[in-house]
Amino acid sequence: MAGDEFGRAAADLVRRLRRWSPAGWAVSVDAGRFAPARTRAEAVHRTVQRLADLSAAGEGRPPRPVPRLEDRVLPDQLSVMAHDVRGLGDAAAEQAALAEITDLRELLGLRR
């Protein structure tokens, strides 16, 4: 099921991100479709925003910007947004969210 796979992928990514030091968050990335992200932190925040947008769409409400807090808070924001998407019970939203997580992992150079 996409939901289970998304849940596992998000939880694994959050666990890995919680280990990063401030220097780890500041590493430059080749943003590609994550542009204008220039660092790992910016790329993760972009994904947090995309998950928030998926959740808003699934709830029939307009998207709102996710505050850009300190880097060390990004894993928590990602976890909350993943939980919100899973709570929709919408397979298409979960599949889109899984694609976002997968793309982010690839950008960050994280293997399964």
Q: What is the pLDDT of residue 111?
A: 77
**Spans of the chain below 50 pLDDT:** 1
The pLDDT, as a whole number, for residue 36 is: 79
3-class SS of residue 35:
coil
| Domain segments of the chain as ranges | 2-19+39-108
Record the pTM. 0.92
CA 63 – CA 52 distance, rounded (Å): 7
Tens of pLDDT, residues 23-34 = 999 999 987 777
Burial class (CB in 10 A: 0-12, 13-18, 19+), 88: middle
Predicted pLDDT of residue 10: 96
DSSP classification of residue 67? P
